[in-house]
Structure 1
Amino acid sequence: MSNTNILYKQGAEGRIFKINYFGKPAISKERFKKKYRNEELDKRLTKERIRAEAKSILRCKNAGICVPAVYLVDFEGRRIILEYIDNSETISDLIDKLTTKNCDESNEKLKEISIKMGDVIGKMHYNNIIHGDLTTSNILIKYESDSTWNLYLIDFGLSYIKSSDEDKAVDLYVLERALTSKHSNVNWFFDEFLISYRQYGENNERIFKKFNEVRARGRKRTTIG
C-alpha cells in the first residue's frame, strides 16, 4: 500500500483520503478521536460506527445495490478503506449540469435518474438499511460506457440496520430537503422519485404514510422556527 495520501474531504467526524491500496485507487475514511469523551468509550463507539458502516455496505452489495467494495476494516487505525469509484460524479453535480441546459433531452435524463434512484432506495429500505445521510451528494452515477451507467450509494458513516418505517421515512425526508435546498429548479424530481420508490416492496405505502407525518412535523418546526 502506498504511503501517498491525498486529503479528499474533511467533515465533522473525520477525514477522507484518496490513497493507493495495493495498486488500486481507494478511499480511506479516518475518524477523529473525540477528546471530550472517555478514551475507552470513544474507542468503543468508533468501533461500533465503523462496524455498522461496513455491515451496511456489505448488506447493500448482497442485495444487488451498487456500493464501493470494502478493502479493509481497521479498528485500531480508526478507519475503513473502500474502493474509489472512478469515472463518476455526484447526482448533485449532474443535476446542476443538466438543469443549465434546460432542454427535453436533459429533462428525460433527469427523469430516468429519478426513477432509478427510487428503485435503488426502495431496494435499500426493503433490506432494512437506513442510510442516515441520504443526499444527492452521497449518490454517484458511474459511467460504464457512453450509453450505460449505474447508481452507487456512498458514505454510510451514519448508517444502521433497522426495519422501522419511521427511520426509512426520515431517510426520505432528508433526501427531499437536500433536493429542495440545492435543486429547487427541478421540484418535480422528488415526485418522480417517490412514484418509483412506492412501487418497490409491499410495505412502501405504509412508509409513505409515515413520510407524510415526518414531513408535516418538519414543516411545523420550520414555521415555528
Structure 2
Amino acid sequence: MTKPITEETITELYSSMAMVPKSLCIADLGCSCGPNTLFFTREVVKIVDKLSRKHGHKSPEFQIHLNDLPGNDFNFIFQSLLPRFQAELRPAGFGPCFVSAVPGSLYGRLFPAKTLHFVHSSYSLMWLSKVPGGIEEMNKGNIYMSITSPKSVINAYYEQFQRDFSTFLKCRSEEVVAGGKMVLTILGRKSDDASCKEGCYIWELLAVALQQMVDEVSNFHI
C-alpha cells in the first residue's frame, strides 16, 4: 500500500532538484533486523535508477543510513542481509551503495545538519520514547491504554506522543536538506476510542498473560 506513495514522493524529490546530487543520502529510521530490513532501500534504489535512466542521467551514488536503537542486531544485517543486497544490485548497474549503521533514538539528532535527501520510517513512531511519568498507580494491571484505564492515563499517553513527535519533526527539520522528503508509516485506528480493540486489544491480552506469569511466580515456593 505504501509503495506507490514512496514512488510518488521519490519522483517529486527527483523532479524538484535543479541538479541531481552525485550522492543521494537516505535514512531508514527504525530499520529493525529482520528479512525486510533492506526491502525499502532496495525499492528506493530501483526507483531512483529508473528515474535517472528516464532523464538520461547517470545513477547517483547512494548513502544508506540504517537507524535503530543501540540494542538492534546490526551485525546480523551486515553479515547476513547486506551481502545478498549488494549481490542483487551489482549486476543491475545501479550506482554504488554505501551502507552504514546509526544506532540511537529517532527522538534525537542522528545526522549532521542538512545532509539527508530522503527519510523513511515504518511502524516505529507509534513507539514512544518512554512510558509517560506517573501513570503506574493510575493504570494498575495494564501495560497500555485499556478499557479500564482512566482518562488521565489516556491523556498522559497523548501528551507524551505530542512531545515525542514534535521532537522528531524538529530533529529531522535540522537534518533534511531544503526540498527533502519523508515517508512515515504510523499505526492508526478508525475509532475515536483510544482503548478500542483495533488499537489496544493485543496489549490487553499481553497484560493478562504477564499478570498470570507474575502470579505463578509469586505462588511458587521451593
Normalising by structure 1, we get a TM-score of: 0.31
Using CA pairs below 8 Å that are at least 6 residues apart, which structure has the higher relative contact order?
A: 2
Normalising by structure 2, we get a TM-score of: 0.32
